[in-house]
Amino acid sequence: RDINQLSYVGQQYHDGDVTVIEAGRNLIGKNDGSFSSSLGGSKGMIALAGPGELQVKAGRQLDLGDAGGVRTVGNKYNTELPADSARITLAAGMAKTLDIDAFTQRFMPAGASARAELVSYVKQVLQLGDADLPTDPSAAYEQALRYYTGFTRENQIAFADAVVNKAFIQAYLGSGGDYAKTWQAKAQALGVSETAYDSNAFAQFKNDVLMTELKVWGKAAADVPLSLDPAANALATAKRQALYDKAFAAIDLAGLGKGFNFVGDMQIAGSGVQTQGKGDLSTGGIDILTPGGGVLVGLNALTKKQQDDAKDHGLVTYGGGSIRAMSANDFSTQVVRRRIGRAGLPQRPQR
pLDDT surpassing 60 at residue 72: yes
pLDDT tens string 159-213: 999 999 999 999 999 988 899 999 999 999 999 999 999 999 999 999 999 999 9
Instruction: Kindly state whether residues 266 and 326 are assigned to the same domain.
Output: yes
Confirm whether pTM is higher than 0.75. yes
Mean pLDDT for the stretch of residues 263-273? 91
Residue 343 counted as domain residue: no
Query: What pLDDT does 336 receive?
Result: 42
How would DSSP label each residue in 78-129? -TTS-SBPPEEEEE-----EE-HHHHHHHH--TT-HHHHHHHHHHHHHHT--
Instruction: Kindly state whether residues 79 and 49 are assigned to the same domain.
Output: yes
Residue 349 counted as domain residue: no
Average pLDDT of the chain?
88
Any residues with CB less than 8 A from the CB of 225 and at least 6 apart, and which? 236
Instruction: Kindly state whether residues 10 and 72 are assigned to the same domain.
Output: yes
pLDDT tens string 31-55: 766 555 555 544 678 999 999 999 9
Q: Is residue 321 very low, low, confident or very high in pLDDT (cuts 50, 70, 90)?
A: confident
Task: Indicate the DSSP class of residue 312.
Answer: G
Residue 347 counted as domain residue: no
Instruction: Kindly state whether residues 210 and 285 are assigned to the same domain.
Output: no
Final residue of a structural domain among 168, 200, 218: 168
pLDDT tens string 145-157: 999 999 999 999 9
Give me the amino acid identity at 31.
Answer: N
Query: What pLDDT does 294 receive?
Result: 94
Instruction: Kindly state whether residues 41 and 64 are assigned to the same domain.
Output: yes
C-beta of residue 144 within 8 angstroms of C-beta of residue 104: no
Instruction: Kindly state whether residues 157 and 192 are assigned to the same domain.
Output: no
Residue 345 counted as domain residue: no
How would DSSP label each residue in 200-255? HHHHHHHHHHHHHHHHHHHHHHHTSPP-SSHHHHHHHHHHHHHHHHHHHHHHHHTT
Instruction: Kindly state whether residues 301 and 243 are assigned to the same domain.
Output: no
Instruction: Kindly state whether residues 185 and 244 are assigned to the same domain.
Output: yes
Please state the domain count of the chain.
Answer: 3
Range of the domain at 111: 97-168
Final residue of a structural domain among 204, 236, 259: 259
Mean pLDDT for the stretch of residues 239-260? 96
Residue 351 counted as domain residue: no
| Strand 314-319, strand 260-261: pairing | unpaired
Query: What pLDDT does 31 receive?
Result: 72
Instruction: Kindly state whether residues 36 and 77 are assigned to the same domain.
Output: yes
Any residues with CB less than 8 A from the CB of 282 and at least 6 apart, and which? 208
Q: Is residue 280 very low, low, confident or very high in pLDDT (cuts 50, 70, 90)?
A: confident
Query: What pLDDT does 37 receive?
Result: 54
Task: Indicate the DSSP class of residue 324.
Answer: E
